A and B are shown apart, each in its own frame.
Chain A
């Protein structure tokens, strides 16, 4: 067993008590194709935000996307089928949904994954969920084991063939593909960044711009 919890549970500020965010990171994943297929098949057991770790710069970026997905769901203005797809979409600074899945979500060639599960207890009544497609993905509830962090962790360990690592800024930055981050978040034209000599300071400035880009999506 690892000496850290594979699934870290986080309570975000300013979201309802009933929402909890659970995050795991897996390196050297062997079965990305299989996992990707489960998403395409809309297998409700795999309702996760499966994120390609290459586009992730920090814990805060992931948590920002989770926060946005939750607030958008609460406001009833989701643009995608569920909170988890909304989370992936929230990573994007542009309005193109399918592009956001391709760029930030798992692809068959992904090697490292950040996986997020948002659990709502008690579950939100279906009527409160705005996007109609969401209904079918939760309709099978009741026949399944209850959605708890423990069961989620068990499910991930069973189905993700990879090496769990802790959800820390350190492990995330080891997996960051700055070339993609710079491209997707349009940081290549930002000349003053290159003037920052201290690498940590530069990364944290880029992280801020990434989060700013996400916050400003489409506005």
Chain B
């Protein structure tokens, strides 16, 4: 099994060495950390374990301090979001000295994957009708209703996170999951029973590894800008629509949003200047 070899390539954190009903599965291996899928307490409860292994190239005392700090800061920011009603994984357990954080496993696909599938299906449909299939997604009509609704949910989720005083630091459509609706949570009128369901689900923001507590308009605007750039590069056909809907939903989320959106224009301007120079 691929996951087996992946798992055994690196030493597991001690906690995952203890027996479990299914072996931990290595999901991603980044520069700073690894993410495993495993189980918490019972075989029926999946969890995500983020592990930051010791870095041999760093001074051990400094390394330990940095790791503790990062794990704790991620755990605190997740917990704060959760308490304040921002949809994020719940924190199950933390061992900052051992360098890990265990949290709720979020079912479903990253938003990036869902949008790409949706765009692909749209392209196939257009081609079937004899068109080129690279038309800009304008957000008009029934055909785009699901995407518009999803983008509104993204804007609302980001707005809520900013409202409670957290900036994410690495907002992308890969760091948002589209979690299948739980009973009673689906919006009463916001979803379309006729649709293919590709874009149905609750937005859950993940990866708070670079998050911090801030209420600065500049920090918030940079968060939005990073998301906007990430979106434009992964889903260029829907870029314009994204900006319009996101801003609209974000504006409704909290009082200072208009000021942040004003700031976002400055940030975009700086971004353009920088890319012209570079």
Contact = CB atoms under 8 A, between A and B. Distances in A.
Given A75-B95, A211-B92, A219-B75, A14 B18 contact: yes
Interface string A183-204: 0000000101100111001000
A17 interface: yes
B232 interface: no
A71 interface: yes
A197 B185 CA distance: 10
B98 interface: yes
B6 to A, nearest CB: 19
A215 B76 CA distance: 10
B93 interface: yes
Interface in B88-138: 90-98, 102, 104
Contacts of A77: 97
A175 interface: no
Given A63-B42, A75-B97, A192 B85 contact: yes
B273 interface: no
Contact of B38 (A13, A198, A211): A13
Interface residues of B, number: 36
Contact of B90 (A14, A63, A193, A212): A212
Most chain B CB within a 10 A radius of its CB, from A13, A60, A209, A216: A13
B67 interface: no
A215 B92 contact: yes
A17 B20 CA distance: 9
Contacts of A208: 82, 90, 104
Interface residues of A, number: 30
A64 interface: yes
B92 A64 contact: yes
Contacts of A211: 90, 92
Contacts of B41: 12-13, 60, 63-64, 67
A138 to B, nearest CB: 22
A141 interface: no
B93 A71 contact: yes
A14 B15 contact: yes
A219 B93 contact: no
Contact of B85 (A17, A67, A190, A215): A190
B183 to A, nearest CB: 7
A190 B41 CA distance: 27
B173 interface: no
Given A192-B85, A201-B184, A209-B82, A215 B94 contact: yes
A193 B84 CA distance: 9
Contacts of A63: 41-42
A87 to B, nearest CB: 14
B196 interface: no
B15 A13 contact: no
B172 interface: no
A10 to B, nearest CB: 8
A211 B91 CA distance: 8
B43 interface: yes
B72 to A, nearest CB: 5
Nearest to B78: A212
Interface in A166-193: 190, 192-193
B72 A219 contact: yes
B21 interface: yes
B182 interface: yes
B97 to A, nearest CB: 7
Contacts of B270: none
Contacts of B184: 196-198, 201
B55 interface: no
A197 B42 CA distance: 29
Contacts of B255: none
A16 interface: yes
Interface string A69-97: 00100010100000000000000000000
Given A14-B19, A64-B41, 9 more contacts: A13-B19, A14-B16, A17-B19, A60-B45, A63-B42, A213-B79, A216-B75, A219-B94, A219-B96
14 contacts: A10-B42, A13-B20, A13-B40, A13-B41, A14-B40, A67-B41, A75-B95, A192-B84, A201-B182, A209-B83, A211-B90, A212-B79, A215-B79, A215-B93
The 5 A-B residue pairs with the shortest CB-CB distance, nearest first, are: A192-B85, A198-B184, A13-B20, A13-B39, A14-B18
